[in-house]
Amino acid sequence: MQRGTLVGSKKDLLTTEKKNKSFSKHLKKYWQLYLMVIPGFIFFIMIKYVPMLGITLAFKDYQIFNGFFESPWVGLKHFADFFKYPNFWRVFSNTLIIGVMKIVLTFPFPIILAILMNELRNVHYKKAVQTVFYIPHFFSWVIIAGLTFDLLSGTGIVNSIITFFGGEPILFMQQSKYFRWILVLTHMWRNGGWGTIVILAAIAGINPSLYESACVDGANRIQQIFKITLPLLMPTIVILFLLQMGRFLDVGFDHVFNLLTPMTYSVGDIIDTYVYRIGILEGQYSPATAIGLFQSVIGFIFVFTFNRLSKKVTGGGIW
């Protein structure tokens, strides 16, 4: 047994040495490429990992004059205070509802749009449609919110159409029952076209011979979509869905804040707007950090859970 163990360990050592030699040869041969990676690697470390040291603020009573290291530790106090916040359930439930609506309604939209774009045969018309849908992505939420208020105002084009057909003007932006739907529609308007880029790239990677074989077998375009396109898109769709779940509680501060009005606070006040009030306006940095950490943990739990479910159901996932 000892001899077999020694032989196995020697083989492992030889394999490791071969890998090290091959890597060193590869490094010497392509050192220019590795050199080009260094700035991006440093940027990633500085932007993504170094700021994570600030997580400790969530467990401290941060005071500007005491500094980062001298501020006293308070443990889970800020988390407990957040859960005891009188409007906690309103803020948390609003975030959950808006997050679910965005996942259910806006996630499939770029997929459907990309498939429809792919079916266009006129190249010039296809490019024109893509441009029309891509342009809103480059507008800030301030501009999108301004356009939304103008379109839905009492004298806007929507109410003008309603009154033209004999209806009464509707104050869309002042009624809470419309607010969440306006959020979803404006999100689709701004990001729907941009979200089709990855899907269209995945569709372009599908072997055309599959469609040719389907045509020979008599399959129409609808059947080809459901039998070829969608099944082959599933790995990409699953990855995008898992990444979206990681941002489940991050429903978009800029988006909500620019559309929020005093009359819609009951359905539009979310975790991000609460963090803005206590973190920016009131200067309570530790509670704001604690809530941000809470959002990140919930996002990680969602990603981890759905990734495991995805691996069991589809056999694929992020890791």
Q: What are the pLDDT digits (tens) for 284-300?
A: 888 888 888 888 888 88
pLDDT tier for residue 161 given thresholds of 50, 70 and 90? very high
Provide the token pair at 113: 């749009």
pLDDT above 80 for 138: yes
* Longest pairwise C-alpha distance within the chain: 94
**Residue 316 has what pLDDT?**
67
Rg (CA), the chain: 26
pLDDT at 24: 78
CA distance 58 to 77: 9
The yes or no reply on domain 75-313 and CATH 1.10.3720.10 is: yes
Q: Is the pLDDT of residue 186 over 60?
A: yes
Spell out the long-range contacts of 313-316 with Cβ–Cβ below 8 A and sequence spacing 24 or more.
314/234, 314/235, 314/238, 316/235, 316/238, 316/239
Other CB atoms within 10 A of residue 162 CB = 14
State both tokens at 127: 């490019």
Which residue ranges make up each domain of the chain?
2-59, 75-313
* pTM of the predicted model over 0.85: no
**C-alpha 116: how far from its chain's center?**
23
Span 118-137, average pLDDT: 88
Amino acid identity of residue 109, one-letter, is F
Instruction: From 64, 73, 130, 106, select the one nearest 255 (Cα to Cα).
Output: 106
pLDDT the model gives residue 2: 46
